[in-house]
Amino acid sequence: MHAFTSKFEALQDRINQQILGQEQVVKQLVIALLANGHVLIQGLPGLAKTRAVNEMANEVNAKLNRIQFTPDMLPADITGSEVYSNQTQSISFKPGPVFSHFLLADEINRAPAKVQSALLESMAEGQVSVAGISHPLPELFMVLATQNPIEQEGTYPLPEAQMDRFLMQILIDYPDKDAEMSMLKLLRNQQSSEASTRAATLTVEEVLCARKQVDEVFVNDNIDQYIVDLVDATRQPKKYSDELGTFIELGASPRASIALDRCARAYAWLSGRDFVAPEDVKAVCHGVLRHRIVLSFSCINQNISTDAVIDKLLDCVAHV
């Protein structure tokens, strides 16, 4: 296990050299890669959301397709469609950009709901159905969707069902001044040829092998109980705290429990352990839950963030 773990540590280091001041963001991306899940990356324009995804695809030596979502897109622009060939006088399927290892769905909330929903089958089932025929996607398939805050003009909220399909929601904030200074120097001195000739850190096969090792990380009954209690607290918050009960309007689905389990195992594996500790669950809790709970009007009115509510949740739910 150690050899593979060190390779993923090197993966993080390599990406951090190109995405300065966003170490936690990079670690969460790697956790999602190991946990075989899709991620929703949210932040204001210009905070290196797209660059982070590009760097990870380069370091894994995997095929990356990018879709720039716009209001006039059609579902076939993502999935592909059947086309008629004059030469063969037959109809064949022309795959869309979804047929890749990494799919960068850039500014996903700028497209209407019908187009956003076109991703749902591929995210959930690993396949695309066109004209009644199913076309399988690669075994390593990961959607990395970027999103600007929904209060910005020209954006559409993602459907609830699609939000729940994302394993994690990752927030990117402004870098500190030191990181921004280093970023200026990096970009000033960087030559485009350097990025293209840099050898990849991992192969697709190594990622798939690492995922099998993550699946073998041991989780005892106490950790399972802790995960279930955390998710239950989002559904019945008053049972755990009167104050928490005023914060949460709608709790998380059972997918949250599954996601906490998968991400906690990936976090433990990255830490070089073959078992999950409560600290591993806490470390991934914000990314897993922040897009799965709906805050009450009272909470929003008081400008209390989702992350602050999750902090309160972790305080209220004791692990065994």
Bigger pLDDT: 320 vs 107? 107
pLDDT digits (tens, 9 = 90+) for 174-211: 888 888 888 888 877 765 445 555 677 889 999 999 99
Tell me, what's the pLDDT at 116?
79
Bigger pLDDT: 97 vs 160? 97
Residue 39 CA to residue 155 CA, distance in Å, equals 19
Tell me, what's the pLDDT at 71?
86
Residues of the chain with CATH 1.10.8.80: 217-316
Q: pLDDT-derived band of residue 151, with 50, 70 and 90 as boundaries?
A: low
| Of residues 167, 86, 81, 91, the one with CA closest to residue 123 | 167
Flag whether pLDDT at 253 surpasses 70.
yes
pLDDT digits (tens, 9 = 90+) for 281-311: 999 999 999 999 999 998 999 989 999 999 9
pLDDT digits (tens, 9 = 90+) for 60-75: 888 999 999 888 888 8
pLDDT digits (tens, 9 = 90+) for 115-137: 877 788 788 888 888 877 888 99
Flag whether pLDDT at 265 surpasses 90.
yes
pLDDT above 70 as % of the chain: 94
Q: 168-171 and 133-136: which strand pairing?
A: unpaired
Tell me, what's the pLDDT at 198?
66
Which of 151-155, 223-227, 262-266 is the least confident region?
Answer: 151-155
Q: Are 259 and 266 in contact (CB under 8 A)?
A: no
Flag whether pLDDT at 58 surpasses 50.
yes
Q: Per DSSP, what are the bridge partners of residue 21?
A: none
Task: Write the burial class of residue 273 (CB in 10 Å: 0-12 exposed, 13-18 middle, 19+ buried).
Answer: middle
Residue 250 CA to residue 239 CA, distance in Å, equals 14
How many Å from the N-terminal Cα to the C-terminal Cα in the chain?
28
pLDDT digits (tens, 9 = 90+) for 35-44: 999 999 988 7
The phi, psi pair for 169, rounded to 5°, reads -115, 125
Taking CA 230 as the corner, what is the angle to CA 317 and CA 159, rounded to the nearest 5 degrees?
A: 145
| Of residues 147, 186, 173, the one with CA closest to residue 15 | 186
Residues 6+ positions from 172 with CB-CB distance below 8 Å: 22, 25, 41, 42, 43, 47, 48, 49, 52
When the candidates are 1.10.40.30, 3.30.2010.10, 3.40.50.300, 3.90.700.10, the CATH number that belongs to 2-206 is 3.40.50.300
The phi, psi pair for 146, rounded to 5°, reads -100, 150
Residues of the chain with CATH 3.40.50.300: 2-206
User: How is domain 217-316 classified at the CATH fold level?
Assistant: Helicase, Ruva Protein; domain 3 (1.10.8)
Calculate mean pLDDT across residues 240-260: 92
Q: pLDDT-derived band of residue 1, with 50, 70 and 90 as boundaries?
A: low
Residues 6+ positions from 221 with CB-CB distance below 8 Å: none
